[in-house]
Chains A and B, each alone.
Chain A
C-alpha cells in the first residue's frame, strides 16, 4: 500500500476563486492510501515546495498528488521537489484543477466537485505508480540548420562559435534568403547587402560550418540527441569544388530568356547562372528546365568556356545521410500570391507590383540598377500609391488572405515612401492603411519622420479598386477620417502583400513531428517561456517560420535558438523518458503485432529459454523493447492481443483506475 500525500494549490485566487480548496483537501483525505492532505497558497513557490519536502520526510510518503495547474506547466517542478526529498520523481501525479477546472467553470460548487473527482483520479493512479529510472543516451555533437536566410545564418554562426559543427541546408543555390533581396533595412536605413554579405562570407569561411545549398531534407528519423537525417543534394551540373565562380559561363550561355527569380521575374538570366554577385557558395548552377544541352543534348557552350572544367552534364542528385543532435528550423516566409486580389489589378498591369518587387526596383543590383522606373514603359513614376494590409488582417476574407497581421509591412512601407521622397522629391506618395502599427525601438520615430519630414500622404482607409486606363492606374479609395471618396491617377501601385510560411514547412513539420498552428507557422513549446523550442524535443525554431518577424527580432531569436542548441550539445548524455513500453515475457506469444505498429522500430524479438511449470524448458519467441528508442506512444499496448505490452507511467491498470475514479 502506498502512503500518499495530497497537496492542493490555491494558485492565489486562480484556483481558490472557483474551487473550495479546503473542501478538496478534506475530501481527498479519505481516499485509499492517502495519509496526508493539505492546501497552500502557492505550491510551486519555495515555501510550497518545502511543505511537500517536509511532508515526504515526516509522513514517509511513497507517492504524492499535487492538485494544481497543468502538468505541462509544473510537473517537472514537482518531480524535482520529490527527487530532492528522496522520493522517486515518477511517483508524482498532477491533478489539473486550474486550466481544466477553475479557469473553465465559474460556479464554486461545480468547480469544487470536479476538482475532487480529478483529485481522486490522480490518487487512484498514484496508488499504482512504480518508481521509474530514466535511461541515458549519448548526444551527437552536430547541429542541422534548415534554411539559409538571415535566421539560419545567425543560428549557424552562433552554434559554430561555441565550437560545435553545424550544417546548413538551403534549397536555393545560395544562402542569404529574403534579406539578400532587400534594398535598405528599417529603421536605420542600412543597406541590407552591406550587413548581410559579411555574415554570408563568415559562414563560408567558418571551418565548423558546412553548406548544403540547392539541397533539401527528405527524411528525418530518430529523436533528440540522435537524429538521422537524409539530405537530397540536387544536381546543379557544376562541380562545386572545381567551379571558381568566375561567371564566364553565365555570360556566354546562349539561353538568355529565363525569368530571373532573384529579381522576381522582372528581368532575365541565363540557363546557367549565379543568383547574385555575392552568392555563397559562389558557384554556377544549370537550370535543367531551360538548358538546351540537358534538354536536347546540343549546345555545351558553358563546358567549352569553362577553363576550370567544372561543368558536368551527367551529374545526378546525391543523397547524404548524417547524424545530428539538434535541428533548427529556419524555413522563413514568402509573400502570398496576389491571384485572389484582382481588385488591385495585379495581373492586369505591370505597374501594380508587390513590395518585394519594389525592393528589387530600388536596389542598385536590381533590374533597373536602382533607378525607380515603371516596369511597363521604363518611365519615372510621379504618383505612387502604397496599399497596406493586402491579405493581412483579413477578418472577413479569411478565404482570400490571412487573419493575422504580417507585422513588417507598416515599417517597410514607411521606408519605401521615405526613400522614394528622398531620391525623387517630385514624386507624390500616398499610403493607404487600416492602422499604422509601429511598436519597436525607434520605429514610431521612423514612421513620424516619413509623415512629418518627407510629407508622405498617409490616408486612413482602404483602396477599393485599381483600374488600368491608358498609362495611368485609376485608384479608387475612401478616406475614413474625412469620410470622402478619393480618386487618384497613379503611375505605380505597390501592394504590401501578407507574408506566409514557406510551402516547404508543412511537409518538414510532418517529418519532424513538430506541430504547426492553423496558419502553418510552427508552434513553440510555450508561447511565452519557451518561444524558440518546438514541443518536439531537439527541434528548435528560428525566424519567421514561427511567426511574422522583422530582422532584429529574427536575429535575436536565431541567437536564442543557437544558445538552446549549444545547451543541448554541451551535454554528453541525455536522460531519456522512462515512460516506455515493456512486455511481460510470460504473456507474450511473439505474434509480431506490436512490431508492426511501432513507428520507431523499437521492438525486436528474441528466443528465450523458459522453465515451464512441469520442470521442462521451452524456447519461446518474445518481444523486447529497446528503451532508448521507444518514445512511449503506447501504440503497441493496444495492438497486443494478449495484453503483454504495457506502458510505464501510463499503464493500462492506471488508466482503468482513473476511469473508475471518474465514474465513481
Chain B
C-alpha cells in the first residue's frame, strides 16, 4: 500500500491542435486518468524546447511526456517531425545521464483520440510510478 501512495509528478506538453483537443475530448467523455498529469498547452509539439524538459526534471518532475499530431498531420505541416528527431536525441542523452527511458515519452494523439489520450496517460503514469521518484537531475538549490 505504501508504494501505491507515492504520487509521481508528470508534466505533459500538448500541442494546441491535436493533443490538447484530444485531452479535452477525454474530458468530454469523462475518461479518467491520474491527476498527477498536468498539461501545458503549446502551439505545436515543436515549440517544446529541450530546455523545458530539463527544467521540469530539474524542478522535480518524475516524468515528461510530449504529445503532438500524428506524423503527416501536423497543423504546421512539419513541426512534429522536428519534435520526433529532437526528442529522440534528448531522451537518449537523458538516459545517459541516468533519467530512465520510461520517464520520457513522445506520443501522437489526434483531436479525435480522447480514449488514446487517457490510455496513454494511465500507462505512462503507471510506468513512471513504478520507477519511483526522480532524483537524478533534481537541482537541490531549488529545494531550499
Residues of A within 8 A of B (CB): 70-73, 96, 98-101, 103-107, 110-111, 113-114, 117-118, 121, 509-510, 513, 515-518, 523, 535-536, 579, 597, 599, 631-635, 637-639, 647, 650, 652, 655-656, 658-660, 662-664
Contacts and interface: CB of A to CB of B under 8 A. Distances in A.
Given A515-B75, A634-B44, A121 B38 contact: yes
Contacts of B61: 659, 662-663
7 A-B pairs with the lowest CB-CB distances in the bound complex, closest first: A99-B27, A634-B47, A663-B59, A633-B76, A103-B27, A517-B112, A99-B24
Interface centre among A71, A518, A662 (most CB of B within 10 A): A662
Contacts, number: 156
B11 interface: yes
A656 B32 contact: no
Nearest to B36: A114
Given A99-B28, A103-B30, A515-B110, A632 B55 contact: no
A597 B82 contact: yes
A73 B61 CA distance: 29
B22 to A, nearest CB: 10
Interface stretch (B66-74, B99-107, B125-133): B66-74
22 contacts: A73-B24, A96-B39, A98-B27, A103-B27, A104-B33, A105-B32, A106-B32, A110-B35, A121-B38, A516-B73, A535-B17, A599-B77, A599-B79, A631-B76, A632-B43, A633-B47, A635-B46, A637-B47, A652-B52, A655-B47, A662-B9, A663-B11
B118 A104 contact: yes
B119 interface: no
Nearest to A117: B38
A159 B117 CA distance: 39
Given A72-B21, A633-B79, 4 more contacts: A70-B24, A101-B35, A509-B73, A632-B43
B90 to A, nearest CB: 11
B40 A658 contact: yes
B94 interface: no
B86 interface: yes
A513 B30 contact: no
A222 to B, nearest CB: 12
Contacts of B86: 638
Contacts of A647: 43, 47
A647 B56 CA distance: 20
A515 B17 contact: yes
Contacts of B23: 99-100
A105 B28 contact: no
A635 B74 CA distance: 12
Nearest to A110: B35
Contact of A111 (B35, B50, B110, B111): B35
B124 interface: no
Contacts of B18: 515
Nearest to B143: A664
Contact of B35 (A105, A597, A638): A105
B49 interface: yes
B112 A650 contact: no
A437 to B, nearest CB: 23
Given A96-B39, A599-B78, A659-B40, A638 B112 contact: no
B140 interface: no
Nearest to A535: B17
Given A121-B38, A515-B111, A599-B78, A638 B60 contact: no
Contacts of B24: 70, 72-73, 96, 99-100
A558 to B, nearest CB: 23
Contact of A659 (B21, B30, B55): B55
B96 to A, nearest CB: 21
Contacts of A536: 75
Nearest to B57: A663
Contacts of B79: 599, 633-635
A647 B33 CA distance: 31
Nearest to B138: A663
B31 interface: yes
B47 A659 contact: no
A638 B49 contact: yes
B43 A650 contact: yes
A599 B49 contact: no
B51 interface: yes
Contact of A635 (B27, B60, B82): B82
Contacts of A100: 23-24, 27, 39
B26 A104 contact: yes
B76 A104 contact: no
